[in-house]
Structure 1
Amino acid sequence: MSQTIDPATGLPIGALVLPADPAPRPERLTLEGRHVSLVPLDAAAHAGALGGGAVGPGTEALWQYMPRGPFPDPAAFAAYLETCAASPDPLFYAILDARSGHAVGHAALMRIDPANRVIEVGNILYTPALQRSPGATEAMRLLAGYVFDTLGYRRYEWKCNALNTPSRLAAGRLGFAFEGIFRQAMIVKGRNRDTAWFSLLDTEWPQVRQAYDRWLAPGNHGPDGGQRLRLSALTAARIPGLPLRRATRADAPALGALQKAAYAPNRALLGVEPLPLLTPADAVIDAHEVWLLEEGDGLSGALVLDPEPDHLLVWSVAVAPDRQGRGLGTRLLAAVEERAKHLDLADLRLYTGEKLARTIGWYARHGWTTDRVEARPDRRLVHMIKRVA
C-alpha cells in the first residue's frame, strides 16, 4: 500500500487521492454489448421472459444464496421485480440477450458510496440461458467498464455467501482479489451468513479490462462456442512459481523509466527509436499484459506480452542496465514459457531489429529461430518463433 510520512507526526499516512471529489451516482441507462445489453429493470417488460427461466420447479438453486426467492408463482416473482425496479440502491439492470431481446438475468450496482468512490456489484441472477455463455462475462465487463471508465470509482466490490463456491470462483475468474471472510456478517432467510469479500481497484482495471476484451474477442471462440484462451488464465495476477506480478496503472512511471533505460542503447545501432519506446508506458499497460520483476527498491525487469488465441507474442523484454549480466533476462524468458503453458499456448513469437545482432543471437541461444524478415519503411524486423511443450 502506498504511504508517505507525515512531517508533523513522523507517522505513515496514505497517499493523496487526486481528485478527491465524489464520483457520480450510477444512472438508469443502457449498456450495449455484442452478446447482451443491460437496461433499467422494468417488471412489466421483463417479468415474463425472466420468470420463464427463474420461476418454477428446478430453479431453487438459483435462489439458494440470494436474499429473496425462490418464488411460488410468476405473480410473486413480478412483485419482487417491481420492488427491485423501484430501488435506487441496489440499482437493478436487466440483462437482455442481444439476439432475442429477452431478459435472461439481472444484476445491480449497490452499496453506492460516491464520497469514497466505492461501489459493489451484486444481486446477480443468471438464468440457464445466460449461464456459462459469453454474455455472462460480457455483462460483468459492461458494468465494470461503466463503474471505472465512465463514473471514475476507485474500488469495485464483490461479496457473496462464503459457502457459495460458484460465486467465489466467478469472482476470481473475473479478476477480483480475495480479501477475507467477515464472520457472522448477516442473517439471510433466518440462517447465518459468513461473507467472502473480493475487490477490484481502478489501478488494476486496465490489465483486467484487456483480459475481458481478449476473452470476448470473436477469434477467441470457435464455431461451437468453445473458448481458446481461458478468462481465469487471462486475469491471473501471478505467473505460477515465479516472482512476477501484474502491473497496475500506478507502475506506469517506473515502467517508462525502465524501458527508456533498457532500450536507449539500441537507438544508435538501429538509427531509429526502438519500438518499445514509441508507446507511452500508460498506453502499454492499457494495451498489453505487463509483468514486473522487483528486487530491492525498484524494478529489475519487465515483460510485456500479447496473448492471442493461437500464440503468445513477446512484445518487450527489458532488464534495468545496472542489473544486466545476472541472468534476469533468462529468467524473464523462462517466465514467458510458463505464461504460455498457463494459457495453454505452445507457439511463442517475437520480433526485434535486424541490426541488433547480439539480441538475435541471445534469443537463438535460448531456442528461438528466425521465421522471416519484415521490411518496414524505417527499419527491418526479424520475426522469431519458438515452440514449447
Structure 2
Amino acid sequence: MTRPDADPVTGLPIGRPVAEAGPAPRPGRVAIAGRHVALSPLDPAAHGPDLAAGAVGPGTEALWQYMAAGPFAEPEAFGRYLAECAASADPLFYAILDARTGRAAGHAALMRIDPANRVIEVGNILFTPALQRSAGATEAMWLLARYAFETLGYRRYEWKCNALNAPSRRAAIRLGFTPEGLFRQAVIVKGRNRDTAWFSITDAEWPQVAQGFARWLAPANFSGDGRQRLRLHALNAPAITGAPLRRATRADAPALAALQEAAYAPNRAILGAEPVPLLVGAEEVLARHEVWVLEEAEELAGALVLDPAPDHLLIWSVAVAPAHQERGFGRRLLAAAESRAKDLDLSSLRLYTGETLARNLAWYARHGWTVERIEERPDRRLVHMRKDIA
C-alpha cells in the first residue's frame, strides 16, 4: 500500500495530490446507447405509458417499497411523479429503453451531484418486471458508471440504499461497489426510519470494474438460451479465496510497470524479442485484464494478470520482483490462479510462454502443466500449456 505524503512543514501525513482538481462537468440530458438498452432523458409523454404498464396498479407495490415515492394506484398520479422527475436537474433522470423495441422499461438517476469534489451518486433506480434480472438492467448500470467516470471525469461513484433492502445491497456488491458502512437514522422515508448503507467505486478502481462488466456483457458469455457463463459477482470479487492478494488499482500502475520490467527484462536475450507482458503498458493492462498484486513490507512483490473466458482461465502474466524470487512467491501466485479459477467455476487453466524459456517450461511442468500446442509467430514460438483442476 502506498504511503501517504508528509507535509513539508508539519511532517504530518496528507493526501496525495489530485491531478484533476478542478470541478467536473455536470451530467447532461444526453442519450447513451448500449447493446441491450439505451438511456434517454426522461420524457413523461414518450416514456410514461410504457413505464406505467409495469409500475402502476395492484401487484407493483414491491417496486416502490424502498423508494421515496409510490406506490401508485393509477396512471394520473404516476404521471405527476414522472413530470416532477423530468423537471429535476438533481436528481437527473434517465429512462431505460429496450434497445430492440424502444419501449421504456425503467428509470435511474444521477444525483447528489458534487462537481467540485467530482463525486456523484446513482439512485432512484426503477426496474419494471420487463427489465428485472436481465442483461439490460446490468448494462444500464454500466452505461451510467462509464459516463460518470470516462466522459465526465468523476472520482467517486456512490450507491446508497435502505439498509433493509437486501436485494439492493447484493446488487451493489455484484456491480463492483465497495461497502463503506451504515449511516444510522440517516433519513425519514414515508414516516419510517431509514438506516442507509453506503457503497462506492473510485476512479482508481474503475478500470478493473469496467473490464469485469465488459467480460460479463460479451455475447460469448451467454449461452443460446441466455444463461450467463461467468457470473458478474465473481468477476467483481475483491479477493481470491485463500490467497493474500488484492485487486490492483490505477494507483498501482507505476509499481506494476516497474515490477513487470524487472521480472521480464532478463528474458529479452533468451527470446530474441520483447517479452509479451512488456509490449503493453500498465494502464492498458489494468483496463484489459484482471490484475492481482501480492505485497510484502509495503512493496509490490508479485503480480498475477488473468483473462477469464467462459470456458477457461488464461494466466497472461506471472511476475515476481527479483528481490523476492526463489522464495516461493511464484508458487503462491500459481496457486492463487487455481483458486481464482474455482471462484469463477472454471476447471481449466491455460498460459503461454516462449519456447526458448526452458527454465519456465520445466517449472510449469513440475506444477502439473502440460503442453497443448506450439504457436508460430513472426518473431518467436509460443508454447501453449494447460492444466485441468477438479
Instruction: State the SS of the aligned residue for 2:120.
Output: strand
Q: Distance in 2 between the 1:17 and 1:133 partners?
A: 37
Equivalent residue, structure 1, for 2:303: 302
Q: Distance in 2 between the 1:185 and 1:123 partners?
A: 17
Instruction: State the SS of the aligned residue for 1:62.
Output: helix
Q: Distance in 1 between the 2:3 and 2:248 partners?
A: 15
Paired AA for residue 145 in structure 1: R
Q: CA deviation at 1:330?
A: 0.5
Confirm or deny: 8 A CA contact 1:37 1:139 kept in the other structure. yes
Alignment of 1:120-159 (within 5 A): 120-159=121-160
Equivalent residue, structure 2, for 1:244: 245
Equivalent residue, structure 2, for 1:381: 382
Equivalent residue, structure 1, for 2:314: 313
Equivalent residue, structure 2, for 1:82: 83
Say whether residues 1:198 and 2:190 are aligned partners: no
Equivalent residue, structure 1, for 2:111: 110
Equivalent residue, structure 2, for 1:272: 273
Q: CA deviation at 1:297?
A: 2.4
Q: Distance in 1 between the 2:12 and 2:355 partners?
A: 53
Q: Distance in 1 between the 2:176 and 2:54 partners?
A: 28
Q: Distance in 2 between the 1:297 and 1:151 partners?
A: 33
Confirm or deny: 8 A CA contact 2:63 2:126 kept in the other structure. yes
Equivalent residue, structure 2, for 1:64: 65
Q: 1:173 to 1:2 in 2, by over 3 A?
A: farther
Q: 1:2 to 1:150 in 2, by over 3 A?
A: farther
Alignment of 1:1-389 (within 5 A): 3-389=4-390
Q: Distance in 1 between the 2:13 and 2:382 partners?
A: 49
Q: Deviations over 1:46-72 (max 9, x none)?
A: 110001000111110000000000012
Q: Distance in 2 between the 1:194 and 1:305 partners?
A: 38
Q: Distance in 2 between the 1:384 and 1:107 partners?
A: 46
Q: Distance in 1 between the 2:257 and 2:199 partners?
A: 30
Q: Deviations over 1:121-175 (max 9, x none)?
A: 0000000110000000000010000000000000000000000000000000000
Paired AA for residue 123 in structure 1: N
Paired AA for residue 231 in structure 2: R
Q: Distance in 2 between the 1:331 and 1:4 partners?
A: 31
Q: CA deviation at 1:371?
A: 0.4
Confirm or deny: 8 A CA contact 2:208 2:289 kept in the other structure. yes
Q: Distance in 1 between the 2:171 and 2:260 partners?
A: 35
Confirm or deny: 8 A CA contact 2:118 2:155 kept in the other structure. yes
Q: CA deviation at 1:241?
A: 1.6
Instruction: State the SS of the aligned residue for 1:109.
Output: strand
RMSD: 0.7
The range that moved more, 14-23 or 188-197, is: 14-23
Confirm or deny: 8 A CA contact 1:2 1:14 kept in the other structure. no
Instruction: State the SS of the aligned residue for 2:314.
Output: strand
Confirm or deny: 8 A CA contact 2:93 2:109 kept in the other structure. yes
Confirm or deny: 8 A CA contact 2:58 2:73 kept in the other structure. no
Confirm or deny: 8 A CA contact 1:108 1:122 kept in the other structure. yes
Q: Distance in 2 between the 1:149 and 1:43 partners?
A: 29
Q: CA deviation at 1:237?
A: 0.9
Paired AA for residue 370 in structure 2: T
Instruction: State the SS of the aligned residue for 1:333.
Output: helix
Q: Distance in 2 between the 1:323 and 1:59 partners?
A: 59
After the TM superposition, list the runs of 4 or more consecutive aligned residues in structure 1 that deviate by more than 2 angstroms. none
Paired AA for residue 70 in structure 1: P
Q: Can you give the 5+ residue segments of structure 2 that lack an aligned partner in the other structure? A: none
Instruction: State the SS of the aligned residue for 1:51.
Output: helix
The range that moved more, 1-10 or 122-131, is: 1-10
Q: CA deviation at 1:3?
A: 2.1
Paired AA for residue 191 in structure 1: R
Q: CA deviation at 1:2?
A: 5.6
Q: Can you give the 5+ residue segments of structure 1 that lack an aligned partner in the other structure? A: none
Q: Distance in 2 between the 1:92 and 1:282 partners?
A: 33
Q: Distance in 2 between the 1:386 and 1:240 partners?
A: 19
Instruction: State the SS of the aligned residue for 1:203.
Output: coil
Instruction: State the SS of the aligned residue for 2:307.
Output: strand
TM superposition score normalised by structure 2: 0.99
Instruction: State the SS of the aligned residue for 2:243.
Output: coil
Q: CA deviation at 1:223?
A: 1.1
Paired AA for residue 35 in structure 1: H
Q: CA deviation at 1:285?
A: 0.6
Confirm or deny: 8 A CA contact 1:109 1:122 kept in the other structure. yes
Confirm or deny: 8 A CA contact 1:208 1:235 kept in the other structure. yes
Q: Distance in 1 between the 2:48 and 2:21 partners?
A: 40
Confirm or deny: 8 A CA contact 1:2 1:15 kept in the other structure. no
The range that moved more, 175-184 or 263-272, is: 263-272
